[in-house]
Chain A
Amino acid sequence: NAGVTQTPKFRILKIGQSMTLQCAQDMNHNYMYWYRQDPGMGLKLIYYSVGAGITDKGEVPNGYNVSRSTTEDFPLRLELAAPSQTSVYFCASSQRGSNTEAFFGQGTRLTVV
């Protein structure tokens, strides 16, 4: 049981490039989330999904897009990368109706130069 798997673990992007951060979970959770963590700060919600085909914006959605075509996968797309998007990105999932305990992936450290 792998839990939540994120790829890649590290990535360096040039300003203006695009990329997709992959996230997959094998726990059949309906809820999935993308967070970013900046140094010395807490995690901030970028986007979330309550099920396949349904996504919604979180606290800091600008510059990002998501899709949820299956229960398992929740990729995060960065278009036109900017230095302000340098951060550690965490994907998480949780079971609907649970105590909101979320399971997190190991994170993707992204640097935009």
Chain B
Amino acid sequence: DQQVKQNSPSLSVQEGRISILNCDYTNSMFDYFLWYKKYPAEGPTFLISISSIKDKNEDGRFTVFLNKSAKHLSLHIVPSQPGDSAVYFCAARGGAQKLVFGQGTRLTINP
């Protein structure tokens, strides 16, 4: 039972354009959502988060949107840069600081 789903395994975007990564969840008890970025042969690194009481959080080029009624969140990166090429994981807090991760989306930024 996949509680957090990232339905796009990969995404290719031109440099300078907007990248939009999507994530859906099924558990309405999730109260906090995070995005992690992962380069090959490295551990994931925290990127941005959002509480369930908000619908938007922005940090520089990165913005996360949360639609609770649709149980959907998205990560917008604008403008996209070559260094943004990585695998992005969506995660949701399921209590006691346990995180439930999606499968990941591989983002490729083309020059």
Contact = CB atoms under 8 A, between A and B. Distances in A.
Interface of A: 4, 31, 33, 35, 40-45, 48, 50, 56, 58, 90, 92, 94, 96, 99-107
B96 interface: yes
A44 B98 CA distance: 10
Q: Which of the four size classes fits the interface of chain B?
A: 20 to 34
Contact of B43 (A4, A42, A44): A4
B52 interface: no
B9 A43 contact: no
A interface majority secondary structure = strand
A50 B91 CA distance: 19
18 contacts: A31-B97, A33-B99, A35-B101, A42-B4, A42-B6, A42-B91, A43-B44, A45-B100, A48-B97, A50-B96, A50-B97, A58-B98, A90-B43, A90-B44, A99-B49, A100-B32, A101-B34, A106-B41
